[in-house]
Structure 1
Amino acid sequence: MHIRTAALADADTIAPLFDAYRQFYGQAPDLAGARQFITGRLASEESVVLLAVDNAGKAAGFCQLYPTFCSVEAAPIYTLYDLYVSPQARRTGAGRGLLLAAHATAQAHGKVRMDLTTAHTNTAAQALYESLGWTLDTVFRAYSKRVEA
C-alpha cells in the first residue's frame, strides 16, 4: 500500500471513495456532487487529501484533513473529518497507513493536534484509532446545529 498526498488531478479517483464514505454515513449516492466537493477542496487548497493506492495502482482509501485552530491552545490543528477504506481493501493496513500518514503530515505542517469524530457504532475504527494513540474525549461534549437557508 502506498500513501500519498492527492493533487487536483486525483479528484476523479477520490470521488467514488468520497461518495461511498458519505453513503456509509447515510447520505444518498451523489457521485457528481462528491466530485464537485472534492474538486473544490483540492482546487482551493482548503483541505489536504491523502490517498491510499494498492500495489496494482487501484485507489483503496482516502483521508481528508481540514486545517483549523484551537483557541484554547492558541495553535493550529487538523480536523480529520473523512477517513474511508473501500470494503475490498479493509484489513490490508490501508486505514492504519492513512492515519500514520495523517500524523506525519500534521507534524510536517506544524499542527499541534488532530481531532476526529466517528459514529458510536463504528467500533472497528475506534479500535484502530485507540491502537494508534488517539484518545476518547471525556471532557467535552460535541453538539451541532443545522443552519437553514
Structure 2
Amino acid sequence: MGDGDTGDGGTGDGGLRIRPATTADADVLLPLFAAHRAADEPDEKVDRYRERLGSLVENHAHHIVVAELDGRVIGYAAAQDYGPAPHRDWSIARMHDLWVSPDARGHGAGTALFEAVRSWAELDTRVRVLEWQSLDVAAAFYRRLGLSGEHVDETDPRERYELEVHLPSRR
C-alpha cells in the first residue's frame, strides 16, 4: 500500500488512514469534490453528486474510499466496475476521481488512495483493465508511481491511462 497505509484500513505512520466512504461522508466529500471539479464542472453536477453518493457507496460496482490524516478527510478516490459486456467474461473498471486537498499533499495520501483502487480492481477477478484520465497537473504524480499516460485526443487536455490488473488464466 501507499505511504502510511497499512493495507487493512488501519492508521499507519503519520496518522494516514484509507477507508471506504460512507453516506455520512457526504458533507465532508462535497467540498472536496467541488474544489476538485471547480475548473471544469458546473455547480449542478456537484449537487447531483451529493444526491448520488448515498446510493453509490452501497453499490458493489462502485468503490469509493477516503483518506484521513489525523482524523480529517483530506482526499478521496472513486472507481466503478462497468461489468462484462455480452461478448466477454471480463470487465473494465474506471477510476473516475482521485484527489487530495492541496494543503494535505505530500503525506502519501494520493499514493495510498491509488493503491486502494488498484487493490480493489485486482481482487475482483472480473476486472481485467483499470483505466482513467488525468489532467496534466497530475501527470508527475502518476510518473512517480511508474505509470505513463497518453493524449488520445488533441482537443482533450487529459492523458489516458490503462493498467492491466488481472489477466484471467486461459488454460
Distance in 2 (CA, whole Å) between partners of 1:66 and 1:142 is 26
Which residue number corresponds to residue 95 of structure 2? 80
Deviation at 1:29, TM superposition (A): 7.7
1:52 aligns with 2:53: no
Which residue number corresponds to residue 118 of structure 1? 134
TM-score by length of 2: 0.67
C-alpha distance 31-70 of structure 1, shift in aligned 2 (>3 A): closer
Matches within 5 A, 1:102-117: 102-110=117-125, 111-117=127-133
Give the conservation status (yes or no) of the 8 Å contact 1:65–1:81. Answer: yes
Which residue number corresponds to residue 49 of structure 2? 34
Q: 1:134 is matched with which residue: 129, 147, 170?
A: 147
Give the conservation status (yes or no) of the 8 Å contact 2:22–2:54. Answer: no
Q: Secondary structure at the match of 1:135?
A: coil
Whichever structure has more strand as a proportion of its residues is 2
Distance in 2 (CA, whole Å) between partners of 1:20 and 1:40 is 22
Question: Could you tell me which amino acid in structure 2 is paired with residue 53 of structure 1?
Answer: E
Indicate the percent of aligned positions where both proteins have the same amino acid: 25
Distance in 1 (CA, whole Å) between partners of 2:94 and 2:131 is 5
Distance in 2 (CA, whole Å) between partners of 1:115 and 1:96 is 16
Which residue number corresponds to residue 147 of structure 1? none
Give the conservation status (yes or no) of the 8 Å contact 1:50–1:63. Answer: yes
Equivalent residue pairs, number: 139
Distance in 2 (CA, whole Å) between partners of 1:114 and 1:105 is 10
Which residue number corresponds to residue 75 of structure 2? 61
Distance in 2 (CA, whole Å) between partners of 1:19 and 1:89 is 16
Distance in 1 (CA, whole Å) between partners of 2:154 and 2:18 is 30
Structure 2 residue runs without a partner (length 5+): 1-15, 157-171
Q: Secondary structure at the match of 2:51?
A: helix
| Comparing 39-48 and 90-99, the one that deviates more | 39-48
Q: Secondary structure at the match of 1:63?
A: strand
If you compute each CA radius of gyration, which structure gives the higher value, 1 or 2? 2
Measured on the aligned residues, the alpha-carbon RMSD in Å equals 3.0
Distance in 1 (CA, whole Å) between partners of 2:155 and 2:52 is 24
Distance in 1 (CA, whole Å) between partners of 2:155 and 2:23 is 32
TM-score by length of 1: 0.75
